[in-house]
Each structure stands twice: as structure tokens, then as C-alpha cells.
Amino acid sequence: MKYKAMSIFALILILSLATSSCIEEKNSENLAKIVNPFIGTDGPGNTYPGAQVPFGMVQLSPDNEAGGWDRISGYFYPDSIINTFSMTHLGGTGAGDLYDIALMPYISGKKLREVEKSLAGQALIKAEKYSTFSHQREQAHAGYYQVFLDTYGINVELTASTRCGMMNITYPASDSSALILDLKRSINWDKTVEADMKIIDDHTVLGHRFSTGWAKDQKLYFALKFSKAFYTDSLSPESKQIGHFFFKTKEGEQIQIKCGLSMVSSQGALKNLQEEIPDYDFNKIKTEAENQWNKELSKIEITTNNQTNDSTDKALFYTCLYQSMCAPTIYMDRDSTYRGPDGQIHKANNFANYTRFSLWDTYRAAHPLYTILSPDRVSDMVNSFLAFYDESGALPVWNFQGQETDMMIAHHSISVIAEACLKNIPGINYSHALEASIATVNRNQYRGIGFYKQYHYIPADLETESLSKTIEYSYDDYCISQIASKLATQVDDSDTASINMYNDIAEHYLNRSHYYRNLYNQGWLAPRLSNGLFKENFNPDAYTKDITESNAWQYFFAAQHDIPGLIDLIGGKQAFTKRLDAMFTYKPKDTKLPIFSTGMIGQYVHGNEPDHHVAYLYNYVGEPDKTQKYIHEIVDKMYKDEPNGHCGNEDCGQMSSWYVLSTLGFYPVNPVSCRYDLGTPNFEKATINLPSGKKFIIKTKNFSKDNPYVEKVLLNGTELKTPYITHNQIVRGGELKFVMKKMTN
């Protein structure tokens, strides 16, 4: 939405945008301004629209007062109330945490319009200060957000650097212009445990906020600086958790507020601020944020066809690419220090430390995408896993703010490690990674691992989510076997002891990777009891405690590392094809579904991650036209350039990464295989600008939205005989050409 109010505030905003455009890089498309951060802020997407740089520690974004599922990220598009702008947000998940260091400009003494409920018709407005707003006076793109606060006549602009946020606030003429800093405020799962602020001078405030929520022991320090001297007579007696700062302002006067964050100390936050935003030039920081995004987004260039909606397709693609890079996030100060899961201060030596790993989701497509576009970040992320192991004794499951949340199941950091190993990502000690992986999957008291080792499956009468855990533990064991096999090839031929050790490890974990087969019964993977019998009254349609956020239809295909073995289990390709066909067409009589079953085609659920590879499985039974049919349908129906544009939780980049890869024409069914299964491209041409300087160009012939099927595929002029390409073929550079057709034979 564009800001339309024709006032002095509009004039100031236009001038500021014009100034920034003058110093943008010339002769290059500003992809940052194509991005629509509002995609996913309505419906189940749970994203936020605020300002952030790629993988940045700060997500400065507006918050509505009400909590709840719709406002998990702090902001819900149907609302008409803003009551704070806070420095941290978790986007696209079902976990309600963060919203740290809440700031709100206002006019002291101004009587608020009586508002009992937001337009969404939900929670009461309890905030001390809030304002109505409209989407006609709100806009956002990558690295920038702006809104006009109607209640006070105040315009707010936001931008960010890696560890700092910056506000540009345009006040009306007033002797009582103000800003509230509220460290006590909390919504959803978040709760303030301890907070304090200290006024250093009339431009500077230092402090901290310790909180509990999804991560139980969060420690955050801040340094806040004002471009104009403030005066205050109101620090709350509640341990200085709420502060009001006042100014006398002229009509249209702008005040810049900048805030640095640190998980280590307030002095660390101040140093981060001094180094990343040394002055008060808002347009400079905004342009730097845009340039960072342009650098990342330009790694893929797309060309759309004149028959398509060029602007919509581009906005959707680059927004998905943008959202794939909002997490994980940097988790260390400028001096490389960070707070580890053991509560101690550590220093990252020769790597950048990251957190916010939604691994149950992102190992499937987001991390494979990073191996193509940003292998240096992959190295840093894997080294972050290994540091987490060294400091906690296990690899992360769902690492959030440097702590283990144990959300979701299995240990898919091992998948990311194995993929990096098999793709030859440098800068990682893979022997140490193998040690960490083996230690992590052999904690007998952790979530049924002991039962898994004892029974060769997890009994449903001894552990919840037993079916899902058995399958996903099998996948992680496969990943370990692949790491060990690769290490065996890197040992000197004379070191037979090491070669034999690695080969023995590989064989042991490859055998364990088949444990999921012990759940096969009469055409299904089904819950099994400790006495060896299968659970009675099994219903594949049902959502039960035996399966994680899914039913047996969806988890039947979850052994993505062993699709040929799964085909054999069910009785061959014909039976497997029949099950796939039913997956996309069967609709049970009971239509009541859990909250995570969204974006459905038959029993296929695109709004949750376990099914994301399933449409590509037709390639394994010689029917790629059906893969192309369903990929085309998913792309067209499940993604939109609008606030309700995601069919499910965006999940820290996974939902968006699926779109990016699939619209390029390929997707990794098994990330560790280093193969990308072919689908159908959504663009006339796409160019991947590889870190090496080479280009991988994806072209089409006979491209149109009416020609979603593929007649043949050529790699560097030679027709492919396989329904996939490899990672090495991509990173070497070259040309992939899809010859399209209108209908199948």
C-alpha cells in the first residue's frame, strides 16, 4: 500500500524517498522495492511486515495489542490498531515469543478515541498508548516500513542494520511530543522476568530485558540513542521498566531513534550501535539495508512472459526469496561474542554464529537453497550447530535465541550437516560433525531413542508421536551413514583402520535408516506396540498422538531417503502410483481438520512441511506429467501476492523456499542425495548468479501459463535421460532448457 495523505508529512516522506533514490546503485533494478513484506500477514502465514536486513538479528516491526494465533508474529493485517514498534520478531511460526524493546511515539495528554476492540473483533485494547492506522497510509518493502499514526498525527518510518534498528519519527507541532519505552509489555508466550533502564545523558538510555517464553532464559541488552535531547519525569517505579521521554517539536520536525541490541551486555549493545549506525542519517541506513537486500535478491534474476502478470509474478518470487532470508539470524555481537546454551559468554572463532533454526521445516528446501546461493553462510550455520553441541552436549532441534526449545521432532541439523558434507562446503570439521551427530542420536533417554534402538521402531504404547519419530530418526540415521561414507573416501589409502571405522559406522547407520520399514502393515506405515502387534482400529484419515501434525496419508511418504524401498514395500510402482493418485484426490467424510492442515489437495497438505516433496514422487514411477500437473496447481493456488498469500505458516523460510526452487523448475526430494528432482518452471527465463561468478541459466521454449507440461529437458544442449539434475551440475554453471507443451500424451 502507498502512503497517500497529502500533507506536510507526505511531502517530507516523498523528499526522503527521493533523496535515498539518488544514492542507490545506478543501472540496476531495485529488487528490494519489489518485495511485498505484507504477504503472509493475514491468514495462516504469521509473518511480520517490518524492517530487517538479510539474516539480521533485528526485526523492527509494528505490533497490534492483541495476542493469539493470528498475531503470533505481533502483527495481523485485518487489525486497525498499533500500540508498539518492537525490535525483535519471530516470523512464520506457531510460537509466540520476542517483541523485545517496545517503543511507541505519542502526544502526551491527547485523549485517545474510545476503542474497545480492534477491527478483527478480538482482544480488548489494554495498551497505555496506541493509535489507529489505515493501510492506505502504510507501506513496506525489504529493509523499510512506514505508517501514519492517525490518533496522534505522527508518521513513523523504520529501517535496520544487522544488530540495530532505527526509527524516523515525524511529529506535529507540540510541546508534549513523546516516546514510551515499555520493557514490561509482553504478549502471547512472552513474559518479562527482569528489566531495567538507566539514563546516561539526555540522548542515551541503556538497559536490559530478561524474559521467559518459548525460550526460557532470554537475556537481551539494549542501547537507545535519540537525535534530539529529551526530558523525562516519568520512569515507572516498577524497576524502571517503563519510561516516557518528551520533546518540544515544530510542525513536521523529525526525530531519529536508534537502538542497538546485544545478548551479552549493554556496552556490547552500545558498541554494536556505534559501529553499525554511527550517526542519525536515516536515509543512509535505509539505503544500506536496501543494498544488502539487492545484493542477495539479485543472486537470482527472473524474466517473465508478456502473457503473465509481470509485476505480480516478480513481487511474489522476490518476496519468497526475501522471506527465505529472514531466518536463521545472526546471534553475536560485532566482536563475535555471544551467549551460549550453557548461559556462558563465548566467542565465535572464524565463523558467524546463528540462531533461529526451524530445522524440522527448513532442512527440506531452505537449507538446500542456501547451498546454491550462500555456501559461506552454510558453513557458518553448521559451525553454529557444532558450537551448540560443544556447549550443550547435543546438536540443536529448534535453536531459538541460542537455546534449545525441543519444538518438533528428530535431529534435522544432521541433514544440514550431511548435505554440506556431500556438497563439499568448506570450512567445517566433518569428523567433529560426525562425532556430534552420533552422540546426539544415541541419547537413550531422549524422546524414545532408547526404544528405537531396542525395538528397531518406537512403540506407540511407550512414546507419543511414535510413528513420526521412527520415520524421521531413520532419515537422520541415513544422513549419518552418508557423512561416514564420505569421510571414508577422504582418508589416506594407507590408513585402513580409519577407513574401516568410517565404513562400519556407515553400514550400521544405513541399517538403522531402514527401521521405519518395521512399521509397514497392510499398505500403510502404522503405529506398532511394544508387544510387536499393530495398534487396533487404525484409521489413516485420523489425526492422532502417534503422528506429528499429520495423519497416516501424509506420513506414508515421509521416508524421503528411501523412496525405492518404500515403492518395494507397497508392492511396486503401480501400487505406489495408485497411492499417490489417491493422496491428491481422496477426501474423507469427516472434514474437521486441525489448524495445521491447510492448503489441501485431497490429503496432500501444502500448509505443513511433511508433504512438500510428495508431488515430485511421480518422477520415481515414470509419470513426471503428474508431478508437473500438481506443481503447477500448488504454485497457482497456494501462493498469492496479497496479505493472505501463504496457505500455511511460512515457517522461517521453508514455505517460501519451496516456491523459489519449484518455480525455477526443480526441488530436492532428498536433500542429502545432492539431486534436484525436475518439475515445471514458472518463468520464461531465470539466471542463478553463483558465488563463484558462474551462471546457471534456466530457459524455456514454448513457455506460457497454458503450457505447464514438459516435453523434454536439455542440459548444456544434451537431452537429459534422468528426471533430476545434480548439485554439481548447477554450481559448475551452464544452461538448463525446458521445452514446454500444452497437454500430456
Average pLDDT over residues 258-263: 98
Q: 490 with 533: CB under 8 angstroms? A: no
The pLDDT, as a whole number, for residue 589 is 81
Average pLDDT over residues 189-214: 95
Whole-angstrom Cα distance, residue 209 to residue 218? 8
CA distances to 355, 522, 632 from 629, rounded to whole Å, are 37, 29, 5
Q: Give the strand order in the sheet containing 724-726.
A: 666-667, 675-678, 724-726
Residue-wise pLDDT for 339-381, tens only, equals 999 999 999 999 999 999 999 999 999 999 999 999 999 999 9
DSSP-H helix ranges across 649-696:
654-664
Q: Give the strand order in the sheet containing 231-235.
A: 61-63, 84-86, 102-107, 174-182, 242-249, 231-235
pTM, two decimals, is 0.94
Which of the four pLDDT bands, split at 50, 70 and 90, describes residue 594?
confident
Residue 622: exposure state from Cβ atoms within 10 A (0-12, 13-18, ≥19): exposed
CA distances to 85, 111, 146, 156, 725 from 133, rounded to whole Å, are 13, 16, 11, 11, 49
- Name which residue leads in pLDDT, 4 or 609: 609
State which amino acid sits at residue 563: I
The pLDDT, as a whole number, for residue 14 is 39
The pLDDT, as a whole number, for residue 694 is 98
Which of the four pLDDT bands, split at 50, 70 and 90, describes residue 741?
very high
CA atoms within 13 Å, Cβ hemisphere of 575: 11
Would the pLDDT of 111 be above 70? no
Which of the four pLDDT bands, split at 50, 70 and 90, describes residue 551?
very high
C-alpha cell at 257: 531513534
From the list 653, 643, 663, the residue with the least C-alpha distance to 738 is 663
State which amino acid sits at residue 670: N
Would the pLDDT of 605 be above 50? yes
The pLDDT, as a whole number, for residue 306 is 55
C-alpha cell at 676: 534436484
Average pLDDT over residues 518-544: 97
Write the DSSP assignment of 190-214 as a string of letters.
-EEEEEEEEEEETTEEEEEEEEESS
231 phi/psi in degrees, rounded to 5: -130, 150
Q: 744 with 709: CB under 8 angstroms? A: yes
- Name which residue leads in pLDDT, 110 or 529: 529
- Residue 371, H or E segment: helix 366-373
Average pLDDT over residues 407-416: 97
Helix (H, G, I), strand (E, B) or coil at 600: strand
Helix (H, G, I), strand (E, B) or coil at 85: strand
Give the torsion sign (CA, 95, 101, 103, 109).
positive
Q: How many CB atoms lie within 10 A of CB 739?
A: 16
Residues in the chain: 745
The pLDDT, as a whole number, for residue 115 is 42
Residue-wise pLDDT for 700-719, tens only, equals 999 988 899 999 999 999 99
C-alpha cell at 418: 550431511
- SS3 for 252-304 is CEEEEEEEEEECCCHHHHHHHHHHHCCCCCHHHHHHHHHHHHHHHHCCEEEEC
The pLDDT, as a whole number, for residue 308 is 52
C-alpha cell at 411: 535431529
CA-CA-CA-CA dihedral for 129, 47, 595, 82, to nearest 10: 10
- Name which residue leads in pLDDT, 187 or 478: 478
8 phi/psi in degrees, rounded to 5: -60, -30
Average pLDDT over residues 286-312: 87
The pLDDT, as a whole number, for residue 114 is 41
Contacts of 309 (CB under 8 A, 6+ apart): none
Whole-angstrom Cα distance, residue 670 to residue 514? 15
Q: 388 with 349: CB under 8 angstroms? A: no
Residue-wise pLDDT for 228-257, tens only, equals 999 987 565 554 899 999 999 999 999 999
Would the pLDDT of 20 be above 50? no
Which of the four pLDDT bands, split at 50, 70 and 90, describes residue 593?
confident
C-alpha cell at 191: 513474559
Whole-angstrom Cα distance, residue 644 to residue 182? 30
Q: Directed axis angle between helix 624-638 and helix 654-664, to 10°?
A: 130
State what percent of residues in the chain have pLDDT above 70.
92
If you ran DSSP here, which 8-state letter would residue 559 be given?
-
Average pLDDT over residues 639-663: 97
Would the pLDDT of 27 be above 90? no
Would the pLDDT of 490 be above 50? yes
Would the pLDDT of 613 be above 60? yes
Would the pLDDT of 318 be above 90? yes
Average pLDDT over residues 657-685: 98
Whole-angstrom Cα distance, residue 454 to residue 606? 34
Helix (H, G, I), strand (E, B) or coil at 459: coil
Whole-angstrom Cα distance, residue 131 to residue 151? 5
Average pLDDT over residues 208-217: 94
Residue-wise pLDDT for 461-476, tens only, equals 999 999 999 999 999 9
Would the pLDDT of 113 be above 60? no
Report all structural domains of the chain as residue ranges with CATH numbers, in order of start.
Answer: 8-298 (2.70.98.10), 300-330+596-745 (3.30.2080.10)
The pLDDT, as a whole number, for residue 744 is 61
Q: Is the peptide bond before 328 cis (omega within 30 degrees of 0)?
A: yes
